[in-house]
Structure 1
Amino acid sequence: MLLLSLHAVAQDSVAVDVVDVFRKLILKKNTPAPIVNNKGSFAILPSVGYTPSTGFEFGADISGSEYLGNPESTSLSIFDAYGVLSTNELALIQLSHNIYTARNQYNLVGNWNLGKTVIQDDGIGTGQKNPLTLPLRYTFLKLSEMVYKSILDNFYAGAGLTFNYYKKITQESPAAGQPGVYNELYSQQNGFDTDENIAGGFLLNMQYNSRDQPYRPYKGLYIDVILRTNTHWMGSQKSAMQLKTELRKYWSLSKRNPEHVLAYWIWGSYLLRGQLPYMELPGTGSDTEQRTGRGYTIARFKGPSFFYNELEYRFPISANKLFSGVAFFNLQTASNQQKTKLFQYWEPGAGAGLRILFNKQSRSNLCIDYGIGKNGSKGVFVGLNEVF
């Protein structure tokens, strides 16, 4: 009934979002709010989410978007403040920004995170048939700031700083006769503290970005290559060098309706030298928004080096664009410090999801996905904006 009533609000060519639903059902205004392409937007929204890792999440999200130059030559800048509590011991405050100055001369990207959580830890590497799962609790502070300078059209070079601090790391002991605690074993073997991890260092970045929009692109290419060096004088307990790579490619499959999109995502982190603390090992959910690996819990697979890729088909459902859907398939692999090499074992995941358009100007939406993995792994994943 709701879908039918929304179709009556506007013609097929007019997009309808949650704001329009509110105007129609609460304010009794029949005309959808128009799309204004040359102005920004601001919204304060309650946030409700769910993942197998965090449980149900309840919080608030303050988001804004603005063109800091001519929209024809300047990308949309995004600002976000997010706070959440969950039923599975997560408490998080997150501040983030992705700012483009006029004519995209500079791009400033930052993420600040403060919180505490618990994850289900299954050890290091891929290819384990029946790992022992142990809860791992910790508090954390994560700071990252990067500045990119435009070099050529859509091409940027830059640098930044990162500092990650983990405290009160505790892991429940396994049952009698089982192997030791993952965090303690790894930390003792590699000379790290078992209850505190610190990693700080420098970032050198190269980026290419031709996406038509940051929240929900219909076309374009995004490539980000980062060389990260952890140093003692930036607080790191051990020195290390990592190469981090990310690629996102979008193909619009229909000129008549560009919302038919095929999207591909690669995310990788490779240890070139040195050692990483246990809490810094890249793995499932290690991307900034913790969205990789639908079908598995956060940190289900991890290791000194990690590679992830995903293919997703996005398609409209309702003619007024309020509802759309996705189908996805992903693969991930990780090394360990023993016999398992990167790309030796692959862990698949797959699923489908529903999208509800929150704001037609920024294309922000609510994502509800159901994913499955190997060995009975499955779950519902709810979040704001597209996974990638």
Structure 2
Amino acid sequence: MHLNKITKENSIIVFFLLIFLSLLPNRSEAQSKETLDSLKMDSINKRRDEMLKQQVDIADLYDKLFHPHSKDTTKRKSGITIIPNIAANPTIGLQGGIKAVAGRVLGHKPGTFMSVAATSASATTKGILYFYIVHNVFTPGNKWNFQGSLVASKSVTPDFGIGIGQGKSYSGGNKIMTNPYRKPYVWHSIFYNFREKVYREVKKNLFVGAGVEFDIRKNITNPNKVAETETPYGIYNQKYGYDSAKNNANGFLFNVEYTTRDNINRAYKGMYLDVGLRVNQKWIGSSKNAALFVGDFRKYVSLSKKNPETVLAFWSWGSSVLSGSVPYLELSGTGRDPNFRSGRGYVVGYFRGTQYFYSESEFRFPITRNKLLSGVTFISAQTTNDLVATKIFQVWQPAYGAGLRVLFNKATRTNLCLDYAFGKYGSKGFFLGLNEAF
């Protein structure tokens, strides 16, 4: 069974992670260093304030223009950034709305990670209406971590078929299903998502958690009136017995998380690993029973002490259906990560499958001395299976691009991201968002 390959590779990551964790000091040793950590924290805060004084963000520019005699903005208490939510990419077209992002360290215990939250309401030129609330909260001392989101949208979902796209037809099988020429279909729907996970720290930086996730999609229609049997969506529904007008994917989440990132919005150093199992169950409203494995790994390496924001960043994300089936529009694929930021260069769902893996590397560097402007270059590759002949890891599709960063709030490292990326099959586009892709 080909899933063994995915399981084996993730087992290697977990194996080395457990070895590393076994070398960490136990809880009693960590507690004995609490006083020393407090003294170190004072020194860290002083260095942080000195660094912030040398940086300029959008609020600083505003103060200099309209409040030239204002006090030092490094003491600004508000970690909230409110901006017009103007965006553009091939999936949504042009977007207009409003967005708010907040960041704050809760309590005064040394080493507590920053908590972040965001909300947005927007509309796009492609008829998409989108509202969401998302949070990632660490209690003082990182005893608990709460991660969740609420989404309500009127969605327009492109459908390029299942598979990685090889630019050729198969001699057998269903060429519509694998769609080798990337002919797009479009599906409109009303979509709701609710996700909440609760993690408990069991060892320094290591968390174990559980939660629930509900994906509810209804009023699914094809505005081009293409016969359903001529679309990948319709063929998949017939194969697995789904209602073409509505479907749900509701399940329980079980996760293990390890994190040492110094900032969630824009990490300079550290790593993040989250692996878990999702179990969809019909008795809580899921259309079908299913079990899925999901893994997310990120690593950040700062290349300069003088300019710590000069960073090499690495990201790998993958998902595999272990048993049962999930609705077609909820299959993993391009841009289907929790933050919908993977696969710049392609529209969301350009490649999809029951097994999917994505990897990206990014070089981040400052442009101006005051750190108002920064730049990035990135390259990525993704692979998936189809239901005809291609297995995961057999074919990879690349993308690459570059972007500009504008510092909006230096205290929370919130920045505006403007990227242009290129993929295969003539796919390309401008991608605008708030905070780094990963």
Q: TM-score, normalised by structure 2?
A: 0.82
Question: Does the CA-based 8 Å contact 1:171-1:181 persist in structure 2?
Answer: no
Change (3 A) 1:174 1:330: farther
Q: Provide the secondary structure at the position in 2 that maps to 1:188.
A: helix
Amino acid at match of 1:124: I
2:160 to 122, 138, 144: 122
Report how far residue 131 of structure 1 moved. Answer: 2.1
Give the CA RMSD over aligned residues.
2.0
Distance 1:244 1:333 in 2: 15
1:41 to 79, 85, 96: 79
Question: Does the CA-based 8 Å contact 2:367-2:374 persist in structure 1?
Answer: yes
1:4 corresponds in structure 2 to none
2:65 corresponds in structure 1 to 25
1:347 corresponds in structure 2 to 397
2:15 corresponds in structure 1 to none
Q: In the alignment, does 2:220 pair up with 1:220? A: no
Report how far residue 44 of structure 1 moved. Answer: 2.5
2:363 corresponds in structure 1 to 313
Report how far residue 64 of structure 1 moved. Answer: 2.0
Distance 1:11 1:218 in 2: 14
Amino acid at match of 2:215: N
Change (3 A) 1:71 1:46: farther
**Structure with greater helix share of residues:** 2
1:5 corresponds in structure 2 to none
Report how far residue 45 of structure 1 moved. Answer: 2.1
Report how far residue 365 of structure 1 moved. Answer: 0.3
Distance 1:71 1:55 in 2: 44
Q: TM-score, normalised by structure 1?
A: 0.93
Question: Does the CA-based 8 Å contact 1:92-1:115 persist in structure 2?
Answer: yes
1:132 to 173, 177, 183: 183
Report how far residue 345 of structure 1 moved. Answer: 1.1
1:170 corresponds in structure 2 to 221
Question: Does the CA-based 8 Å contact 2:254-2:277 persist in structure 1?
Answer: yes
1:147-296 matches, within 5 Å, as: 147-172=198-223, 180-296=230-346
Change (3 A) 1:260 1:28: same
1:6 corresponds in structure 2 to none
Amino acid at match of 1:25: L
2:426 corresponds in structure 1 to 376
1:89 corresponds in structure 2 to 127
Question: Does the CA-based 8 Å contact 2:229-2:235 persist in structure 1?
Answer: no
Report how far residue 198 of structure 1 moved. Answer: 0.3
1:301 to 351, 372, 379: 351
2:379 to 295, 315, 329: 329
- Point out where structure 2 has 5 or more consecutive residues left out of the alignment: 1-49, 168-180
Q: In the alignment, does 2:174 pair up with 1:98? A: no
Amino acid at match of 2:74: P
Amino acid at match of 2:60: D
Question: Does the CA-based 8 Å contact 1:171-1:183 persist in structure 2?
Answer: no
Q: Percent identity?
A: 41
Question: Does the CA-based 8 Å contact 2:165-2:351 persist in structure 1?
Answer: no
Distance 1:198 1:11 in 2: 48
- Point out where structure 1 has 5 or more consecutive residues left out of the alignment: 1-9
Larger mean Cα displacement after TM superposition, 123-132 or 282-291: 123-132
Question: Does the CA-based 8 Å contact 1:108-1:145 persist in structure 2?
Answer: yes
**How many residues align structurally?**
376
Deviations 1:335-370 (A, max 9, x none): 122212111111100000000000000000000000
Amino acid at match of 1:23: D
Deviations 1:368-388 (A, max 9, x none): 000000111100000000000
Question: Does the CA-based 8 Å contact 1:142-1:164 persist in structure 2?
Answer: yes
